[in-house]
Amino acid sequence: MSSKKSAVTFVLSSIVLSTQAYADFLTDSKATLGMRNLYFNNDNRDGIATPSKTEEWAQGFMLDYKSGYTDGTVGFGVDALGMMGITLDSGMGRHVGSTMIPSDSDDRAVDEWGRLGLTGKVKVSKSEMRYGTLIPNLPILVANDGRLLPQTFEGGQITSGEFKDLTLTGGRIEHATGRGSTDQTGLAAMGGTRQSNQFDFAGGDWKVTKDLKAQYYYANLDNYYTQQFFGLTHTLSLSDSQSLKTDLRYFKTDSSGENSSGTSGYRISGYTKNGDGVIDNRTWSTALIYSLGGHAITAGYQSVSDGSSFTQLNQGSLVDKGAGGTSLYLYTDRLIQTFTRAGERTSFGQYAYDFAALGVPGLKASVMYLSGDNIKTTSGDDQKEWERDISLEYVLQSGTLKGVGFGWRNGKSNSEAARNQDQNRVFVSYSIPLL
């Protein structure tokens, strides 16, 4: 064969191989357009400090694109996340204290805002590495999605399922973008005003048996804290429609770096045993969930040690006003309060019902009550608080509007350690598959 024919054959073969390599990248791609319309009302029932009431209404859009992987031993892909929010109503002083809509230079709600996140990904065997925009859901870091647009993080994460019944996860987070912001910030703990750009984590989920799962995670926020998490969940099947789930969780959080010396800017807010802003906390909880048909009854208890409050990533004290908002892997992380103050002991119970058992699929309701005491603050050593939450959600199951979801959440909190609050959230959500 002549060298010319060899060259042509090589080029044609390369094109065919290239087409095959990218076939899975394209054919396995998925894209959805999510829409959320949210009315948010938070009414402070006592105290003279601003704000007395925050009330806003906005429409959010989230375009979520996930590619497949190129063919071969090492597969490559890319994900993209485009988000936009549009303010529908926020004025007459009702934007003050907003945790949903960014503010302009005059501290008024912006008319619209948006952000774009890109994530590169590589897959080898049963392991995947992602770098870029992340929305983690791990015991030591849970992205908050309690407003119009979700909180996002920037960094890298590796997830491996090479071993049967064992999933390993590790990575580093470097920046965060708050749920009510368009700007990235560094990282901090509650009350910290100095930014850290290094949150390292590693851990695993082990399915010991089909009914028993064990978890361990380690995390370090540079110059703030180190944290270890131990978790154990077990589900006991009592019959085809009846089960009892046991959920045990333990967090051990210690000071690290500059926080250890109480360096200004790296101190946390709230009560600490020596008044130096140094992190020292042990938090454990236990919950029992009894399910029977459409019924689910939860009863639990949580204890927070009195060295300091429970601590995880929280950018709320940084300059960017929209950087705040955090979620915790705790049953007590509720609509208004988290029940994680130093020394706090909390009993909680919840009743939930899935109306599918009555022939109304898509309709769900729940009510939860929590009561905490023994709270230590800078102004008292035995304070109390309670919260009652109601949730009602319905997703249309058929017709032109199939998949449209409606929801209402109402919370009432009375606390000796914070302001009394009533909160309502009303939302309509819908997701349209594009690919």
Helix (H) or strand (E) holding 20: helix 3-27
**Three-state DSSP class for 356?**
helix
Amino acid identity of residue 122, one-letter, is V
Give the count of domains, the chain. 1
Q: For residue 2, is it within any domain?
A: no
Token pair 């940084």 is found at 318
**Domain residue limits at 264:** 30-433
Q: For residue 392, is it within any domain?
A: yes
Residue 200's closest CA among 174, 230, 168? 174
- CA 36 to CA 392: how far, in whole Å? 16
Q: For residue 398, is it within any domain?
A: yes
For residues 420, 368, 287, 200, the Cα torsion angle rounded to the nearest 10 degrees is -60
pLDDT at 5: 52
Residue 328: is it exposed, middle or buried by C-beta count within 10 angstroms (0-12/13-18/19+)? buried
pLDDT at 175: 97
Q: For residue 51, is it within any domain?
A: yes
pLDDT at 17: 45
pLDDT at 14: 45
- CA 221 to CA 326: how far, in whole Å? 15
Tens of pLDDT, residue by residue, the chain (435 residues): 455 555 444 433 444 445 555 667 888 899 999 999 999 999 988 777 777 889 999 999 999 999 999 999 999 999 999 999 999 999 778 898 889 999 998 889 999 999 999 999 999 999 999 999 999 999 999 999 999 999 999 999 999 999 999 999 999 999 999 999 999 999 999 999 999 999 999 999 999 999 999 999 999 999 999 999 999 999 999 999 999 999 999 999 999 999 998 788 999 999 999 999 999 999 999 999 999 999 999 999 999 999 999 999 999 999 888 898 899 999 999 999 999 999 999 999 999 999 999 999 999 999 999 999 999 998 888 999 999 999 999 999 999 999 999 999 999 999 999 999 999 999 999 999 999
- Beta-bridge partner residues of 187: 196
Residue 211's closest CA among 166, 245, 164, 242? 245
Q: For residue 25, is it within any domain?
A: no
Q: For residue 418, is it within any domain?
A: yes
pLDDT at 10: 43
Q: For residue 6, is it within any domain?
A: no
pLDDT at 9: 47
Number of helices and strands in the chain (H, E): 1, 21
The structure's pTM equals: 0.92
Residue 87's closest CA among 51, 52, 152, 37? 37
Amino acid identity of residue 37, one-letter, is N
Beta strands in 198-344 (DSSP E): 199-207, 212-221, 225-239, 242-255, 280-292, 295-304
pLDDT at 317: 92
pLDDT at 322: 86
Residue 151's closest CA among 355, 337, 351, 324? 324
CATH number at residue 298: 2.40.160.10
Q: For residue 13, is it within any domain?
A: no
CB 36 within 8 A of CB 58: no
